[in-house]
Amino acid sequence: MARNTVQHFMVGDVNKWSGIIFPSVLVLLMILSGLFYLELNLHKKEQELSILTKRMYEGKVIADMAYQKVAHLHQSSKKDEGVLQYNVGNVKYRVQDEEVRMSIYIDGYLMYDVKEKLPNKKSHSLK
Protein backbone atom coordinates (compact mmCIF):
# COMPACT_ATOMS: atom_id res chain seq x y z
CA MET A 1 0.00 0.00 0.00
CA ALA A 2 2.74 2.43 0.84
CA ARG A 3 4.42 1.54 -2.40
CA ASN A 4 1.40 2.61 -4.44
CA THR A 5 1.19 5.95 -2.59
CA VAL A 6 4.81 6.76 -3.41
CA GLN A 7 4.35 5.83 -7.05
CA HIS A 8 1.14 7.83 -7.26
CA PHE A 9 2.85 10.87 -5.71
CA MET A 10 5.81 10.70 -8.08
CA VAL A 11 3.81 10.08 -11.24
CA GLY A 12 0.51 11.78 -10.59
CA ASP A 13 1.68 15.03 -8.97
CA VAL A 14 4.40 15.65 -11.53
CA ASN A 15 1.87 15.52 -14.32
CA LYS A 16 -0.58 17.61 -12.32
CA TRP A 17 1.83 20.54 -11.68
CA SER A 18 4.03 20.41 -14.77
CA GLY A 19 1.75 22.69 -16.79
CA ILE A 20 1.70 25.43 -14.13
CA ILE A 21 5.43 25.77 -13.47
CA PHE A 22 6.39 27.09 -16.91
CA PRO A 23 3.81 29.95 -17.03
CA SER A 24 4.67 30.85 -13.43
CA VAL A 25 8.35 31.12 -14.30
CA LEU A 26 7.48 33.23 -17.35
CA VAL A 27 5.32 35.60 -15.27
CA LEU A 28 8.07 35.92 -12.65
CA LEU A 29 10.66 36.56 -15.37
CA MET A 30 8.41 39.19 -16.96
CA ILE A 31 7.92 40.98 -13.61
CA LEU A 32 11.65 40.95 -12.85
CA SER A 33 12.55 42.18 -16.34
CA GLY A 34 10.03 45.02 -15.97
CA LEU A 35 11.56 46.04 -12.64
CA PHE A 36 15.04 45.88 -14.19
CA TYR A 37 13.86 48.06 -17.09
CA LEU A 38 12.45 50.65 -14.67
CA GLU A 39 15.70 50.67 -12.70
CA LEU A 40 17.73 51.18 -15.89
CA ASN A 41 15.53 54.11 -16.93
CA LEU A 42 15.89 55.67 -13.48
CA HIS A 43 19.67 55.32 -13.66
CA LYS A 44 19.69 56.86 -17.16
CA LYS A 45 17.65 59.86 -15.97
CA GLU A 46 19.97 60.35 -12.99
CA GLN A 47 23.01 60.33 -15.29
CA GLU A 48 21.40 62.86 -17.65
CA LEU A 49 20.55 65.11 -14.69
CA SER A 50 24.12 64.84 -13.42
CA ILE A 51 25.57 65.81 -16.81
CA LEU A 52 23.17 68.74 -17.24
CA THR A 53 23.92 69.99 -13.72
CA LYS A 54 27.65 69.82 -14.40
CA ARG A 55 27.20 71.73 -17.66
CA MET A 56 25.04 74.33 -15.92
CA TYR A 57 27.74 75.08 -13.36
CA GLU A 58 30.42 75.12 -16.06
CA GLY A 59 28.30 77.60 -18.01
CA LYS A 60 27.85 79.85 -14.99
CA VAL A 61 31.59 79.88 -14.28
CA ILE A 62 32.39 80.59 -17.93
CA ALA A 63 29.76 83.37 -18.00
CA ASP A 64 31.30 85.06 -14.96
CA MET A 65 34.84 84.80 -16.33
CA ALA A 66 33.80 85.99 -19.78
CA TYR A 67 31.82 88.91 -18.36
CA GLN A 68 34.86 90.20 -16.48
CA LYS A 69 37.10 89.72 -19.51
CA VAL A 70 34.64 91.43 -21.89
CA ALA A 71 34.21 94.36 -19.51
CA HIS A 72 37.98 94.79 -19.33
CA LEU A 73 38.42 94.45 -23.11
CA HIS A 74 35.62 96.91 -23.81
CA GLN A 75 37.06 99.53 -21.47
CA SER A 76 40.66 99.16 -22.61
CA SER A 77 40.40 98.53 -26.36
CA LYS A 78 36.73 99.23 -27.18
CA LYS A 79 36.47 95.77 -28.74
CA ASP A 80 32.75 95.19 -29.37
CA GLU A 81 32.58 91.56 -30.41
CA GLY A 82 34.64 88.42 -30.46
CA VAL A 83 35.08 84.87 -29.25
CA LEU A 84 36.66 83.75 -25.99
CA GLN A 85 37.86 80.17 -25.78
CA TYR A 86 38.00 78.14 -22.58
CA ASN A 87 38.90 74.50 -22.02
CA VAL A 88 35.25 73.37 -21.74
CA GLY A 89 33.61 75.74 -24.21
CA ASN A 90 33.51 78.99 -26.14
CA VAL A 91 31.81 82.33 -25.58
CA LYS A 92 30.71 84.55 -28.45
CA TYR A 93 30.03 88.07 -27.27
CA ARG A 94 28.79 91.35 -28.67
CA VAL A 95 28.62 94.71 -26.90
CA GLN A 96 25.79 97.10 -27.83
CA ASP A 97 24.68 100.18 -25.92
CA GLU A 98 26.61 99.37 -22.73
CA GLU A 99 25.10 95.90 -22.70
CA VAL A 100 26.90 92.66 -23.43
CA ARG A 101 25.21 89.65 -25.04
CA MET A 102 27.02 86.35 -24.65
CA SER A 103 26.28 82.98 -26.23
CA ILE A 104 27.93 80.20 -24.26
CA TYR A 105 28.72 76.94 -26.05
CA ILE A 106 29.73 73.93 -23.97
CA ASP A 107 30.91 70.79 -25.80
CA GLY A 108 29.82 72.37 -29.08
CA TYR A 109 26.19 72.92 -28.03
CA LEU A 110 24.58 76.26 -27.25
CA MET A 111 23.82 76.18 -23.57
CA TYR A 112 23.07 79.76 -22.54
CA ASP A 113 22.33 83.18 -23.94
CA VAL A 114 23.29 85.78 -21.36
CA LYS A 115 22.52 89.50 -21.48
CA GLU A 116 24.07 91.82 -18.87
CA LYS A 117 24.85 95.49 -18.47
CA LEU A 118 28.46 96.58 -18.49
CA PRO A 119 29.72 98.23 -15.29
CA ASN A 120 30.62 101.92 -15.08
CA LYS A 121 34.22 102.75 -15.87
CA LYS A 122 34.85 104.15 -12.39
CA SER A 123 33.34 101.30 -10.40
CA HIS A 124 34.91 98.40 -12.30
CA SER A 125 38.38 97.14 -11.53
CA LEU A 126 39.87 93.92 -12.85
CA LYS A 127 42.70 92.39 -10.87
At residue 96 the predicted structure's pLDDT band, cuts being 50, 70 and 90, is confident
Residue 5: predicted pLDDT: 55
pLDDT over threshold 80, residue 107: yes
Give long-range contacts, CB 8 A cutoff, 24+ apart: 99-105.
Answer: 100/67, 100/70, 100/71, 100/74, 102/63, 102/66, 102/67, 102/70, 104/59, 104/62, 104/63, 104/66
- The confidence score (pLDDT) of residue 35 equals 98
Predicted local distance difference test score (pLDDT) of residue 61: 93
Predicted local confidence at residue 111, as pLDDT: 83
pLDDT in tens, 108-127: 888 888 888 887 765 444 44
